[in-house]
Structure 1
Amino acid sequence: MPATIRYQEQNSTQTLQEALDEYHALNPNLLKPDEMSANGAELFSNHDLIHVVFGLDTSLHDETLADTWTIFGSSIGFWEYLKYIKNPEAMQVLQDLSVNGNTNYLTIAKEAIRAIPDVFKVIRRSRQMTQKWPWQNHQSYRLKTLGQIRQELGIQLIATASEVMSESHNSLSAHS
């Protein structure tokens, strides 16, 4: 992974589309929307945008935060999102993750618990937003920069799991 992931910078000058392209380039194993049902493609496309807009990677920690930002920081809300994640393709991803990815449900649960402090940060920051991210009908944002979008909506990013691990490693190295 590159040292700097531009879409994770608070004031990124990338357009939303450029940032989404970077996200996909960094995560080549993501499911391809053109290989899914219409509902699955919509779900995963919108979920990928959540990762980009809120500056998240694909670690289990940040997946937990992506769900939290989706529920509290986007226009979909809890009950509608629950309908989406019951999508068979979404359920299959979780099952594949816990079988093929050598990650079991216990590991997923532990990571979700570890993310709790950041979940509360996300909830707090989502309440400070001036406007929620539109779960649908976000085409008008494609050519805006992430910095503009985040400023317009009042989005304040939190450190990603990869940034936290990098900072921990750097501080440990400094003390060696």
Structure 2
Amino acid sequence: MQQPAQALRRRLRYQAQDSAQTLAEALDEYYAANLDRVTRPADLPADSAALFRSHDICHVIFGLDTSLADETLADARTLFSCDVGMRRYARYLREDEQAKALFRQMGWARGVAITIACLPRILRAAVEAVRMRKPWPWTPPDDCAGRPLSELRRDYGIRVI
């Protein structure tokens, strides 16, 4: 019997609930593991860099990889568990040229299909958001970079799902 694609992916250290890596170290690991999939914010146009940096940090703090299923869950966790708000986040996705290009590349029909397939995890993300102590900041304070993920997750009540 074949394993699902996500199960075959190598789990990274930042994906462990109690990872001792700092947020900065985990973000470096995320970028190193995704050289062919993720453009570092420094290599993006200035108007896209902040959006993608915050999005990448969400992948790390919520322990998500870059599979299409986890990309969908990163958006869900951003909406449910971050202080960015739906209106502001939707505006980013609607107006940012890099984000629009990614959605065009994926295709809306495929995006809808993946979202439907991920509904159980999206519902779990909604439940986890209610359990959180406080929303994760879309633009984290600078001092978060040097703090261990385990500590940040404990302080905010974040559980990796």
The answer to whether TM tops 0.5 is yes
What whole-Å deviation, never above 9, does each CA across 1:67-97 have from its counterpart, x for those lacking one? 111111111010010111111111012223x
Instruction: State the Cα distance separating 1:2 from its structure 2 match.
Output: 7.4
8 Å CA contact 2:31, 2:40 repeated in 1: no
What whole-Å deviation, never above 9, does each CA across 1:17-41 have from its counterpart, x for those lacking one? 0100000011002123233232200
Moved over 3 A (4+): 1-4
1:115 to 100, 118, 137: 118
Map 1:129-140 → 2, pairs under 5 A = 129-140=132-143
Is 1:59 the counterpart of 2:92? The answer is no
Counterpart position of 2:48: 40
Map 1:16-95 → 2, pairs under 5 A = 16-29=23-36, 30-86=38-94, 87-95=96-104
Is 1:9 the counterpart of 2:16? The answer is yes
Instruction: State the Cα distance separating 1:47 from its structure 2 match.
Output: 0.3
Higher-Rg member (1/2) = 1
TM-align CA RMSD: 1.6
- The percentage of counterpart residues that share the same residue type is 36
Counterpart position of 2:144: 141
For 1:2 and 1:114, locate their aligned partners in 2 and report how far apart those are by CA, in whole Å.
Answer: 18
8 Å CA contact 1:60, 1:112 repeated in 2: no
| Aligned AA (1:27) | N
8 Å CA contact 2:21, 2:148 repeated in 1: yes
Structure 2: 5+ residue stretches without partners: 1-7
**Alignment TM-score, normalising by the size of structure 2:** 0.88
Instruction: State the Cα distance separating 1:141 from its structure 2 match.
Output: 0.6
For 2:53 and 2:73, locate their aligned partners in 1 and report how far apart those are by CA, in whole Å.
Answer: 17
Q: Relative to 1, partners in 2 of residues 1:36 and 1:90: Cα closer, same or farther, differing over 3 Å?
A: same
Structure 1: 5+ residue stretches without partners: 99-103, 159-176
Aligned residues: 152
| Aligned AA (2:98) | E
